[in-house]
Structure 1
């Protein structure tokens, strides 16, 4: 569907979109929003920290915004459902990238998907950079969990600085996220050194209320009475092992069940 009213969300941009196509729950636009973006080739540490950060922020009353890309973007989407807004470079009749198809379909059905491009648009290289400005403009703050020096995430940081939005980054080892480390070195970003403290600070800053809904989680419902592990992996992919790592499910041979 098309919406012209959503354009007001992007009025701070020098070049706001002419129109926005959407699928899903427009009421999410009324929540305080935090963008989480980062490397497509994230480390295991970044993956786990991104998931935990996104999950705790969404449970604390925030809507997480990302660009639906491989890596950090899609990890933040998995963790924050249904409080997630994906902004896509492609038209919404397309699924891109295909490797994220399962999660993107969940965004379409249970969360909110936006695009400034027509429904059947196939994304070009410049579309991804154009999308970055929308991801940043829609949110109150930007979090970059991992980034190289020359990356789309630093393009997002550039937009955030132009729009006077705070940038936060994860603490990283030297040489593993040179882009975020450079932002810190140049006093352009603040470090998240403790996720729980950061979430509490954001709750106080934006006066949010917890929105944890224990009965929503589709995957936990699937596993509630025990399920076949192979079927769970086919339907939910890496989410199976993310939930096992978090202690939410137990794998016992060929079966998986909720804790």
Structure 2
């Protein structure tokens, strides 16, 4: 691991009253020059939330926007996976430690293909307060904060509070009552805006890089009118879900239709 020159990061974090004295890194530091959106949320995120996060972060990647998160279970790792390689992981341990260990394989992929940052020297263990310190870097690096799912008392809500103090706009996903009391409260009190169109949201921060697909694309041609999801999967397998993440098809009521 290497130490990032202070002039490479301090301007990105100058809105913090307590910026890190140094940052260790592994990976592609050019990601720091890109537009960045932070995506955070519950470690015990619902299947619905993780699916929404995957679609959102795939859209951000497609608009050449880098996704920043904390490498934790649940929302964080779903965000990193969908955005790879345009993703920055900010960690609360030294970069010689993969935490949580269950995410070790994918955290290593962030090191290799994305960018990993930590203000903690090698050998620093995971301690509770460090995760809150980590959160301030995640927020301050970013042009916006998305809180995907959160309990009222959680690190994600602390991140939302910090974002308000720093002037970073906060966004949330639509959630049912009782399943994400923190984000619903932010929305109710006017402290966050709702994301109801992923591509529209992403376009605020970057330009869409998708080229018009070839006219003879078999999947798009097959799905030009609504077809059953079962038939589409039987013919093309998981490519259907990849096309959905890329915004090329939509899946509604177990039917698939081309969007282009």
Same fold by TM-score greater than 0.5: yes
Q: Is the contact made by 1:7 and 1:20 (CA closer than 8 Å) also made in structure 2?
A: no
Give the corresponding residue for 1:151: 154
Question: RMSD between aligned alpha carbons?
Answer: 1.7
Give the corresponding residue for 1:100: 103
Counting matched residue pairs gives: 215
Q: Deviations over 1:54-86 (max 9, x none)?
A: 011111110000011100000000000000000
Is it true that 1:135 corresponds to 2:138 in the alignment? yes
Give the corresponding residue for 1:109: 112
Structure 1 regions of 5+ residues with no counterpart?
A: 214-242, 249-259
Per the alignment, in what secondary structure is the counterpart of residue 54 of structure 1?
A: helix
Is it true that 1:246 corresponds to 2:241 in the alignment? yes
Instruction: Summarize the Cα distance change of 1:146–1:138 in structure 2 as closer, same or farther, 3 Å threshold.
Output: same
Give the corresponding residue for 1:236: none
Return the alpha-carbon distance in structure 1 between the equivalents of residues 116 and 207 of structure 2: 24
- Of the three residues 165, 170, 176, the one matched with 2:168 is 165
Is it true that 1:29 corresponds to 2:32 in the alignment? yes
Q: Deviations over 1:23-76 (max 9, x none)?
A: 000000110000000000011110100000001111111000001110000000
Instruction: Summarize the Cα distance change of 1:88–1:60 in structure 2 as closer, same or farther, 3 Å threshold.
Output: same
Is it true that 1:56 corresponds to 2:54 in the alignment? no
- Max radius of gyration: which structure? 2
Return the alpha-carbon distance in structure 2 between the equivalents of residues 245 and 159 of structure 1: 39
Shift in Å, 1:244: 6.5
Shift in Å, 1:211: 4.6
Instruction: Summarize the Cα distance change of 1:245–1:48 in structure 2 as closer, same or farther, 3 Å threshold.
Output: farther
Structure 2 regions of 5+ residues with no counterpart?
A: 212-237, 244-260
Q: Is the contact made by 1:24 and 1:111 (CA closer than 8 Å) also made in structure 2?
A: yes
- Of the three residues 126, 149, 162, the one matched with 1:123 is 126
- Of the three residues 33, 36, 45, the one matched with 1:42 is 45
Q: Is the contact made by 1:67 and 1:132 (CA closer than 8 Å) also made in structure 2?
A: yes
Return the alpha-carbon distance in structure 1 between the equivalents of residues 12 and 120 of structure 2: 16
Give the corresponding residue for 2:18: 15
Return the alpha-carbon distance in structure 1 between the equivalents of residues 208 and 242 of structure 2: 21
Return the alpha-carbon distance in structure 1 between the equivalents of residues 141 and 172 of structure 2: 18
Shift in Å, 1:99: 0.9
Return the alpha-carbon distance in structure 2 between the equivalents of residues 12 and 55 of structure 1: 28
Per the alignment, in what secondary structure is the counterpart of residue 246 of structure 1?
A: helix
